[in-house]
C-alpha cells in the first residue's frame, strides 16, 4: 500500500484514469508506452507489491497473477509479485536485490494499491517516479521503480489498516483486470515495435520486384 498521489513531484508526468471507463485499458497502455525508455532497450520489470491477506492491499498481487496468466512475462517484460508469491513488507528489500542481480539495468515499474479521497476511489494513476510502499500504513520501506502504477482502492485518513481489510474485493479485482489488460496491450505493442526489422533492400533490388 503506497501513499496518496500528492506526494509525487508535480513536475513528473502523472495521469489519472477511471478504471470503469470503456477505454481505460487503452489509456493505460498509451501512458505506459510513453513512459518506457526509448533511447535504449532495457528489460521492463513490473514489481507488483501487496499481499493476499488484505483485500485492499491485494491489487498488486492480483495484477501480477493476471499478467502471468496472460503470458506477459517474456524476454522483454518481466513480472514479479503474484498471489502465490507476493512481494510485501517482509520480503521487499530481498526481492528488489534479486531483481537487480537477475537483470542488467532494468527499467522498473512499481504497482501498488493506494488510499485517497472519496471522489478518487477507482482511479488508476500512472506516472514517473517510484511508489513508496507501506507509507499508507506508516511503514518504512524502500521506494520502488522508475515509474509507477497505483490504484486508489479506498479512502485515507482514518484507521488505514482497517480500511484496507474492509475494502471490497470486487472493486480491487476489476481494477486489477483493467491494469493487467493495459499492461498486456503495452507488451504486445512493445514487442511488435522492437521485433520488427526492416529488410535491407537496395533501390536496385526494389526495381526488380
Does 1 have pLDDT greater than 90? no
Does 5 have pLDDT greater than 60? no
What pLDDT shows up at residue 114? 92
**Cα(129)–Cα(29) distance, integer angstroms:** 17
**Cα(28)–Cα(30) distance, integer angstroms:** 5
Q: How confident is the model at residue 10 (pLDDT cuts 50, 70, 90)?
A: very low
What pLDDT shows up at residue 195? 59
**Cα(12)–Cα(19) distance, integer angstroms:** 22
Q: Which residues contact 166 (CB under 8 A, 6 or more apart)?
A: 55, 56, 154
What pLDDT shows up at residue 136? 57
**Cα(167)–Cα(15) distance, integer angstroms:** 23
Average pLDDT rounded to a whole number, residues 179-196: 83
* Closest to 42 in 3D by CA, of 77, 11, 6: 77
What pLDDT shows up at residue 97? 96
Amino acid at each position: 500500500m503506497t501513499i496518496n498521489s500528492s506526494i509525487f513531484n508535480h513536475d513528473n508526468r502523472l495521469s489519472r484514469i477511471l478504471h470503469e471507463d470503456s477505454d481505460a485499458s487503452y489509456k493505460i497502455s498509451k501512458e505506459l508506452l510513453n513512459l518506457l525508455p526509448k533511447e535504449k532497450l532495457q528489460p521492463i520489470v513490473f514489481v507488483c507489491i501487496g499481499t493476499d491477506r488484505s483485500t485492499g492491499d491485494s491489487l498488486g498481487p492480483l495484477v501480477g497473477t493476471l499478467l502471468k496468466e496472460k503470458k506477459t512475462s517474456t524476454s522483454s517484460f518481466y513480472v514479479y509479485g503474484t498471489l502465490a508469491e507476493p512481494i510485501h513488507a517482509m520480503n521487499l528489500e530481498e526481492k528488489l536485490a534479486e531483481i537487480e542481480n537477475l537483470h542488467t539495468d532494468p527499467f522498473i515499474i512499481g504497482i501498488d494499491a493506494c488510499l485517497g479521497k472519496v471522489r478518487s476511489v477507482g482511479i488508476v494513476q500512472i506516472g514517473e517516479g517510484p511508489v513508496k510502499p507501506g507509507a499508507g500504513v506508516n511503514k518504512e520501506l524502500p521506494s520502488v521503480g522508475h515509474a509507477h502504477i497505483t490504484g486508489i482502492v479506498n479512502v485515507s485518513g482514518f484507521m488505514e489498516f482497517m480500511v484496507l481489510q474492509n475494502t471490497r474485493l470486487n472493486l480491487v479485482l476489476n481494477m486489477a483486470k483493467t491494469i493487467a489488460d493495459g499492461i498486456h496491450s503495452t507488451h504486445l505493442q512493445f514487442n511488435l515495435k522492437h521485433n520488427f526489422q526492416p529488410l535491407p533492400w537496395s533501390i536496385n533490388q526494389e526495381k526488380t520486384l
